[in-house]
Structure 1
Amino acid sequence: MKNILITGGAGFIGSNVALKLISQGYSVTVLDNLSEQIHGSNPENSALYQSILGKVNFIKGDITNRKDVEKVIEGQDAIIHLAAETGTGQSMYSLEKYNQVNVSGTALLLDILVNQKNSVKKIILASSRAVYGEGKYQNPQSESVYPKSRLVEVMQEGHFEMTDENCQLLKPLATDENSKLHPTSFYGLTKLQQEQMVKLVCESIGINYVILRYQNVFGVGQSLLNPYTGILSIFSTQILNGNALNIFEDGLMTRDFINIEDTVDATIKSLELETANNEIINIGTGVATDVLSVANLLVKAYEKDVPIEVSGDFRVGDIRHNFADLTKAKQLLDFQPKVSFEKGIQEFTNWVLQQPRIDNNLEQSLQEMKEKGFLKS
């Protein structure tokens, strides 16, 4: 397989995968609509787009447009499907948009593979840990449980940790691929639908697939414009603009942050290794890091004296804890993250300091969520 199509290939993950594939001798075609939310009002000038310009066969088009997709599939040996609307908070009130791009766009891609002659042998789907919802926990009886979403009225009282029906504290566990799938956001629901469609169709027509459930990807080159997703980028922009950081809940919710270099490595391994065929694999570090620690690390790295305000605000649809069980990734991909969070933060902040200061419209996005009823105090 030498001809690779990357949908959404001008985005953060896609552009990095494209450049690595090119360095290894692959021919890469990118389909991307250069979304303003990611690339800004002058998308052709965005750093992400400029990084691949002249190095890939770039087609400006949309995953929801049949003619665009038909054109780019021709002659491809494999597809890395990254094109999607992302962000849990925004998805809760932009349902039609998320459904159109994530679900209908994927259905269109698969429809063309079924009905149009092609040479595609493998599809890599970029899924998300969001399909797990709250993930896996252990109760006081040492049993594995999968709690439902936290109640709004309970969180409004300042109780954020996961508990069972008897109000006993639950301990978060690493989430494996066999864990219960119960998304708590519309975004997570669309990613689960993508997975089910890819699995069903690929198995029916004999195309190999790999579904990668990414945790929180970060690193050098990440868009600093998007106020809806990418907590490190959002915090960095706030700090460098001298604005206070509003830390939701009590700041102790955790995420599994995986560096872009490791993400690219895992993605390309899933493309090349037959051991990964027709598998669903978690991609993360297996390490849980709380959001308050992230904020403190960034303030220290930027040497900016900005207030860190733990507000108790919370978003409907957000999860409390989730970190990956990497057993399958190690077995099937020989994957072991190499970039520590500390090293990744240092590289990321050094890069951010070299970028022009921007306004990412965070306050506008938060006000939007409040007006829709999905940001609570």
Structure 2
Amino acid sequence: MKNVLITGGAGFIGSNITLKLIDKGYKVTVLDNLSPQIHGDNPEITSPLYRSIINKVNFISGSVTSKEKWAEAIDEQDAIIHLAAETGTGQSMYEIQKYIDVNIGGTAIMLDFLTNNTHQIKKVIIASSRAIYGEGKYKCEEHGIVYPTEREDKDMKIGDFSCKCPFCKNNVKLLPTSEDSKIHPTSVYGITKQNQEQLILTVCKSLNIAAVSYRYQNVYGPGQSLSNPYTGILSIFSTRIKNGNSINIFEDGKETRDFVYIEDVADATILGLEKEKANGQVYNVGTGVATDVITVANTLSKFYKRETPIQISGNYRLGDIRHNFADISKIKSELGFKPKWSFEQGIETFTNWVNEQEIPEDKYEASIQEMKNKGLYK
């Protein structure tokens, strides 16, 4: 399989995978709409991601919601890596139709084409997300392994941000989330990623096309958008710091995420393309390490050498999860994946890159005001 279509291939994850595939001798076609939220108003000037690939790929400008663009892009391809999606968890809670149309609708158009037209696609890889797990996997002293439902507004209002056992309502202990954990997303974004994964695994199997789903954790590294205030805590905090603004940490700052470096994510994705063992499987892609938000803010401040005011506000967003970190034993044992980058190493490289960039306007406050207006930020 030497001809690979990457949707969203000009984006953060997509461009990194694209460049690695080109180095390995693949011929890459990219379908991307160059969203201004990610690439700016003039991508040839404002998007280093787009500039990094533009003369190295067959680039098709367009949306995955276009049947005609899908037909053009799929022609003569052997495999599809489907990354194109709307990605902000908070934003998804009030731009619902947009997220459904792009994430689910765009995927449905692709599968409809594969079902009803002649093509040579042999494998489809879908970028799923840790968001499909909702609050993830926990242990209750009384009830054993449990999967808490979304946290309640009445608890968070009084500063109780802990996850509860769905049966006895007692606090529960966090466990790494494995691929066989319950799927119960708590945001529109998470629902769309669940649907994408299910559609592709189901339809591709019926067409005898190999399919692989990757449930990415929080991906970060050089190249991620610094101007998008809706997604990417490291970018949001970095833009705040570089603009001389304080950092507002939601909840009590002890909420955690599994931060995985972009190079590790690209390597894991290519393993799925090249290894038959991956066919029909789903894999977590992370580090298996939980890092809290206070640590994120302090680590960024350290590497930027800034005394940044950090406010732990107790504010919260409806749809956010408390914790999540991946059990990556499956991808290790089946595909031989092992993350190479520690959080400290990755953050140092990321902040060195940020220091070389022109810092965009900080749009964080405007994004928060949007959520306040919709009643989603408390």
Task: Give the shorter-chain TM-score range.
Answer: over 0.9
Q: Which amino acid letter does the alignment assign opposite residue 137 of structure 1? A: Y
TM-score, normalisation: structure 2: 0.98
**Matched-pair contact (CA < 8 Å) for 2:226–2:359:** no
Q: Which amino acid letter does the alignment assign opposite residue 10 of structure 1? A: A
Aligned to 1:134: 135
Choose 160-169 or 211-220, whichever is displaced more: 160-169
Give per-residue Cα distances to partners, 1:97-124, cap 9 Å, x unaligned: 0000000000001001111100000000
Give per-residue Cα distances to partners, 1:291-321, cap 9 Å, x unaligned: 0110011111111122100000000000001
Aligned to 2:94: 93
Aligned to 1:3: 3
Q: Distance in 2 between matches of 1:299 and 1:332?
A: 38
Aligned to 2:28: 28
Aligned to 2:117: 116
* 1:126 Cα offset (Å): 0.3
Identity %: 60
Q: Distance in 2 between matches of 1:283 and 1:3?
A: 24
Aligned to 1:372: 374
Aligned to 1:342: 344
**Matched-pair contact (CA < 8 Å) for 1:131–1:181:** yes
Instruction: Classify the secondary structure of the residue corresponding to 2:226.
Output: coil
Aligned to 2:41: 41
Q: Distance in 1 between matches of 2:141 and 2:284?
A: 27
* 1:142 Cα offset (Å): 7.0
* 1:162 Cα offset (Å): 1.2
Q: Which amino acid letter does the alignment assign opposite residue 342 of structure 2? A: S
Q: Which amino acid letter does the alignment assign opposite residue 228 of structure 1? A: Y
* 1:167 Cα offset (Å): 4.3
Q: Which amino acid letter does the alignment assign opposite residue 152 of structure 2? A: L
Query: 172, 175, 192: which is aligned to 2:174?
Result: 172
Instruction: Classify the secondary structure of the residue corresponding to 1:111.
Output: helix
Choose 328-337 or 342-351, whichever is displaced more: 328-337
Give per-residue Cα distances to partners, 1:302-347, cap 9 Å, x unaligned: 1112210000000000000110011110122100101111000000
**Matched-pair contact (CA < 8 Å) for 2:285–2:326:** yes
Q: Distance in 2 between matches of 1:151 and 1:196?
A: 28
Instruction: Classify the secondary structure of the residue corresponding to 1:375.
Output: coil
**Matched-pair contact (CA < 8 Å) for 1:140–1:169:** no
Aligned counterparts, 1:129-278, within 5 A: 129-141=130-142, 143-164=144-165, 165-278=167-280
Instruction: Classify the secondary structure of the residue corresponding to 1:17.
Output: helix
Q: Distance in 2 between matches of 1:69 and 1:7?
A: 9
Choose 299-308 or 25-34, whichever is displaced more: 299-308
Aligned counterparts, 1:349-368, within 5 A: 349-368=351-370
* 1:369 Cα offset (Å): 0.5
Instruction: Classify the secondary structure of the residue corresponding to 1:314.
Output: coil
Q: Distance in 1 between matches of 2:8 and 2:169?
A: 43
Aligned to 1:82: 83
Q: Distance in 2 between matches of 1:4 and 1:166?
A: 50
**Matched-pair contact (CA < 8 Å) for 1:284–1:326:** yes
Q: Distance in 1 between matches of 2:168 and 2:197?
A: 34
Q: Which amino acid letter does the alignment assign opposite residue 156 of structure 1? A: K
Aligned to 1:303: 305
TM-score, normalisation: structure 1: 0.99
Q: Which runs of 4+ in 1 moved over 4 A?
A: none
Choose 138-147 or 214-223, whichever is displaced more: 138-147
Q: Distance in 1 between matches of 2:114 and 2:207?
A: 9
Instruction: Classify the secondary structure of the residue corresponding to 2:283.
Output: strand
Q: Which amino acid letter does the alignment assign opposite residue 372 of structure 2? A: K
Q: Distance in 2 between matches of 1:31 and 1:57?
A: 9
Q: Give the length in aligned residue pairs.
A: 376
Q: Distance in 2 between matches of 1:7 and 1:163?
A: 38
Q: Which amino acid letter does the alignment assign opposite residue 75 of structure 1? A: E
Give per-residue Cα distances to partners, 1:186-238, cap 9 Å, x unaligned: 00000001011101110111000000000000001111111000000000000
Structure 1: unaligned runs, 5 residues or longer: none
Q: Distance in 2 between matches of 1:328 and 1:303?
A: 39
**Matched-pair contact (CA < 8 Å) for 2:243–2:362:** no
* 1:168 Cα offset (Å): 2.4
**RMSD over equivalenced CA pairs, Å:** 0.9
